[in-house]
Structure 1
Amino acid sequence: MNYKVQTLNNISKKGLKLLGENYTVLDQPENPDAILLRSYKMHDMDIPASVKFIGRAGAGVNNIPLDKCSQQGIVVCNSPGANANAVKELVIAGMLISSRKVIDGVAWAKTLADKGEDVPALVEKGKSAFGGPELYGKKMGVIGLGAIGVLVANMAVDFGMKVYGFDPFISIDHAWGLSRKVKRAVSKEEIFKNCDYISLHIPFMDETKNYVNADLLRETKEGLRLLNFARGGLVNYDALEEAIEENKVAAYVADFPNERLLKMKNVISIPHLGASTPESEENCADMVIYSLKEFLENGNIIHSVNYPDCDMGVCESINRITVNHANIPNMLGQITKVLADNDINISIMTNKNRKPWAYTMIDVDSNVGEEVKKALKNIEGVTRVRIIK
């Protein structure tokens, strides 16, 4: 079977080669089976009914209409952690340039270009304006201990810093990767009251909007260097500006510039370079393309953000039925009744939910006709039915 894949942004060519000969990749194919993108904003896009999968070569999915996709039975997957090392390295740079005033110093040094033989003496005379503290021995707080946060925390340990982590929802997998030298903080308030450097690594959503606010910054340790390589909306800019004016915050490093930040003093605005490395782009593409192939060829869901992850391995039965549906009572009963009414025996079945949506995979030992597929699709709450040969 040949699958059509539409790309809305440039995707790593090396990654696209992983698709193989059964895939056609075009900017605007008719009736695409899947869409791959990076930062393209899809909210105003008419998504073709043929689309079954949308893959984001990156972590954030704010540019994808998740509710709309879920209602159309479209599985949306991202590539969490694929750019983690790239972001971690930029956090290191952010910590250093916020401490040592390297950017200001380099800019000042360029003003001496026409001073001839006086340059060395002028440098020695003026360099004291650009001094700053070392990282070694300072307290570092990391809020959000996912793939990136764990790497940042471990890196800070290697730098000889005293590291505190806060994440009430840390996963077991990420906890296993965290250095035992990272101390557990019980609240974000504890982090802000005690740490010299703080790096944010939490998702942006309604619950985390203005996560860093006036109340939090009012109690923060004076001279804080705050780094945000997660999302701009996590920090309240009114509170930030006030904290900078009161010397509570010595520097704010952000990977998401806007006009206000660019005009604010003691702010270092990096032009969204967190994942801008060739290795990161390839890793993101590799991960999301693997998810795409697993879903289209075997019905498996890996790294989804709107439906539950569900994996039954390679399809070795005569047919595999996959059903995207609402997470409501008696759904499994209705699905299995349709199969029983058509004398179809179930070999293996898996059902998982991610409220308010669920996903059911069924391997059967006989062919499934279009009439069965239609009957399943007619069940109230079912958004999509696929029959994988």
Structure 2
Amino acid sequence: MAPRVLVSDELSETAVQIFRDRGVEVDFEPQLGKDKDRLLEVIGRYDGLAIRSATKVTEKIIEGAKNLKVVGRAGIGVDNVDIPAASRRGIIVMNTPFGNSITTAEHAIALMFAVARQLPAADTSTQAGKWEKSKFMGVEITGKTLGVIGAGNIGSIVCARAIGLKMHVVAYDPFLSKERAEEMGVTKVELEELLARADFITLHVPMTDKTRGILNKEALAKTKPGVRIINCARGGLVDEAALAEAIKSGHVAGAAFDVFEVEPARESPLFGLPNVVCTPHLGASTTEAQENVALQVAEQMSDYLVKGAVSNAINMPSITAEEAPILKPFIRLADVLGAFVGQVTEEPIKEIEILYDGVTANMNTRALTSAVLAGLIRPQVADVNMVSAPIMIKEKGIVLSEVKRDKTGVFDGYIKLTVTTESMTRSVAGTVFSDGKPRFIQIKGINLDADVGSHMIYITNTDVPGMIGFIGTTLGTAGVNIANFQLGRDKQGGDAIALLYVDGEVEDGVLTQLTAHQAIRQAKLLTFNID
């Protein structure tokens, strides 16, 4: 029986035809996504669901999707899909991460011009029969400093366009190397320096716990007087109320926003303020971009449903159907190793080395490396996947190398990840046992044997008596149950580590109690997706 796909949002006829040409039955009902009750009623009939932003794929919808195998989002944002619920049901979620890049970058540049020259207000005034030439005094772009927060795919395009406009560009991005910055022709700076230097600031970062409110009241106070701020990335990166106050006070000269904390934005503290330009999330709204992402999602979904090929998946590695049974546990291991390093490394990474020992050296190491990189980046970029991760690493100028060798130790095969920053080198190794579960076997050169859990605590300390008792008592008093406790050290009285698998999340206050011990240098809560 041919696979069946429901298209519940607007997609071009060309994209719909791609499904049919690939042997997929397709029902094109572009208004259905707005009717959640009707969608829930019919979703159980389909193997695939192709959407844009109007359809909300909630946990309830997923529960009713008894036959659903893949959700394809024409666009990059997957905020309208409950990815954990989809993952639990084994439903692949795909997006099209790069189809909108040029369009969004161009919109940011357009908004920069609009706010620099007060174009919308001047247009409204002139068409009302006024001639207020002296009222709309603007500023030149040429020679000004543009601060780019986030120099990834879209941000790097903005940098290139701005340099072409003869602007000075400074960029803040924890993953941007000095070498990549030099190649791009921009100056890599820390956030505070960017705030102090920039005449214009544009944001191009995803919404994560670390980036939410990155331009809050305190950050805005550090900006250069007369700055103009552009946001075409995600609502909530900028505190709208704080920005409104900064505009009213005259500290911020203007702002241009395409995204808002609440969308659709029926109201905002920014509305009605002088020299504030607002558009209704038009970053991806060009004919070319909409067509590109529609065609791409149709091709990806068809390839998966017909051939079993996976690409641009948020919650699934890009591997063939034949490789899946062998690679799946090692893909999970690779992601865990990357996620470990990504969560414990605060400095920008300059070099990455991945060692494949024994049987892993003969596997599809491209897929394994992509899984390592996706895990490594995910703490900073939540919607990264195995396809986009290698591109992001390359764009940031990070040196990546793979080493393959025959079996050298007691394990049939293992993977070791080593990263180098400006001031340190960190390594972690792991393997897969016969039960198919990943295990840590070495951290910082110290051997151990530790299960991987959803919630873990990583502790580095000096090897002194009483540490097990202190850690256990501290966690027990806080009501934290320990499922597994592994220790390792390089020598008696030397460097030691503890890795604890606990039954749930741990409050920051508990970690503070642990680090109060004079022998403990670091205590960090780690989370892993091991479903």
Classify the TM-score, shorter chain: 0.7 to 0.9
Pick one of 240, 243, 248 that aligns with 1:245: 248
CA distance in 2, matches of 1:96, 1:322: 53
* Match in the other structure for 1:294: 303
* Match in the other structure for 1:97: 114
Could you give the per-residue CA deviations for residues 334-381 of structure 1, whole angstroms, max 9, x where no partner exists? xxxxxxxxxxxxx9777755669x99xxxxxxxxxxxxxxxxxxx999
Equivalent AA in structure 1 for residue 293 of structure 2 = C
| C-alpha spacing 1:202/1:349, structure 2 compared with 1 (3 Å) | closer
CA distance in 1, matches of 2:165, 2:333: 51
Cα shift at 1:292: 1.6
Contact 1:4 1:29 in 2 (8 A): no
Cα shift at 1:82: 0.5
* Match in the other structure for 2:521: none
* Match in the other structure for 2:319: 311
| C-alpha spacing 1:83/1:179, structure 2 compared with 1 (3 Å) | farther
Asked if 1:35 is matched to 2:41, the reply is: no
Q: Return the TM-score normalized by structure 2.
A: 0.56
Comparing 144-153 with 20-29, which one deviates more in the overlay?
A: 20-29
CA distance in 1, matches of 2:23, 2:212: 43
Could you give the per-residue CA deviations for residues 139-164 of structure 1, whole angstroms, max 9, x where no partner exists? 01111122211111100000010011
* Match in the other structure for 1:23: 24
| C-alpha spacing 1:101/1:273, structure 2 compared with 1 (3 Å) | same
| C-alpha spacing 1:320/1:219, structure 2 compared with 1 (3 Å) | closer
Pick one of 105, 108, 133 that aligns with 1:127: 133
Cα shift at 1:16: 2.5
CA distance in 2, matches of 1:254, 1:4: 39
Pick one of 194, 197, 200 that aligns with 1:197: 200
Asked if 1:61 is matched to 2:75, the reply is: no
The 5 A counterparts of 1:72-151 are 72-112=89-129, 123=131, 126-151=132-157
Q: Return the TM-score normalized by structure 1.
A: 0.75
The 5 A counterparts of 1:1-389 are 2-19=2-19, 20-26=21-27, 27=29, 28=42, 31-39=45-53, 40-43=55-58, 45-47=60-62, 48-112=65-129, 123=131, 126-170=132-176, 180-185=184-189, 187-257=190-260, 258=265, 259-260=267-268, 261-308=270-317, 310-312=318-320, 327=332, 352=368, 353=371
CA distance in 1, matches of 2:212, 2:115: 24
Cα shift at 1:323: 8.5
CA distance in 2, matches of 1:53, 1:128: 57
The RMSD of aligned alpha carbons is 3.2
Cα shift at 1:74: 1.3
Cα shift at 1:295: 2.4
Cα shift at 1:2: 1.6
Comparing 254-263 with 138-147, which one deviates more in the overlay?
A: 254-263
Cα shift at 1:68: 0.4
Could you give the per-residue CA deviations for residues 112-169 of structure 1, whole angstroms, max 9, x where no partner exists? 2xxxxxxxxx74xx31211211111110111112221111110000001001122223
CA distance in 2, matches of 1:98, 1:61: 30
Equivalent AA in structure 2 for residue 43 of structure 1 = T
Cα shift at 1:171: 9.4
Secondary structure of the structure 1 residue equivalent to 2:85: helix
Comparing 158-167 with 1-10, which one deviates more in the overlay?
A: 1-10
Contact 2:118 2:275 in 1 (8 A): no
Contact 1:5 1:29 in 2 (8 A): no
CA distance in 2, matches of 1:76, 1:171: 31
| C-alpha spacing 1:64/1:323, structure 2 compared with 1 (3 Å) | farther
Contact 2:44 2:67 in 1 (8 A): no
| C-alpha spacing 1:280/1:171, structure 2 compared with 1 (3 Å) | farther
Which structure 2 residue ranges, 5 or more long, are not aligned? Answer: 30-41, 335-361, 379-384, 387-434, 438-531
Contact 1:80 1:147 in 2 (8 A): no
Contact 2:43 2:61 in 1 (8 A): no
Cα shift at 1:302: 1.7
Could you give the per-residue CA deviations for residues 264-289 of structure 1, whole angstroms, max 9, x where no partner exists? 44321101111111111111112222
CA distance in 2, matches of 1:99, 1:4: 50
Contact 2:18 2:295 in 1 (8 A): yes
Secondary structure of the structure 2 residue equivalent to 1:294: helix
Secondary structure of the structure 2 residue equivalent to 1:136: coil
* Match in the other structure for 1:337: none
Identical pairs, percent: 32
Which structure 1 residue ranges, 5 or more long, are not aligned? Answer: 113-121, 330-346, 360-378, 382-389
Contact 1:73 1:324 in 2 (8 A): no
Secondary structure of the structure 2 residue equivalent to 1:207: coil
Cα shift at 1:238: 2.6
Secondary structure of the structure 2 residue equivalent to 1:140: strand
Secondary structure of the structure 2 residue equivalent to 1:93: helix
CA distance in 2, matches of 1:348, 1:222: 56
Equivalent AA in structure 2 for residue 270 of structure 1 = T
- Higher-RCO chain (CA-CA 8 Å, sequence separation at least 6): 1
Equivalent AA in structure 2 for residue 213 of structure 1 = N
Equivalent AA in structure 2 for residue 2 of structure 1 = A
Comparing 260-269 with 46-55, which one deviates more in the overlay?
A: 260-269
CA distance in 2, matches of 1:286, 1:152: 25
* Match in the other structure for 2:341: none
Cα shift at 1:111: 2.2
* Match in the other structure for 1:371: none
CA distance in 2, matches of 1:147, 1:277: 18
Cα shift at 1:311: 3.3
Contact 1:54 1:76 in 2 (8 A): yes
Cα shift at 1:189: 1.6
Cα shift at 1:76: 0.9
Could you give the per-residue CA deviations for residues 73-94 of structure 1, whole angstroms, max 9, x where no partner exists? 1111111120111112211210
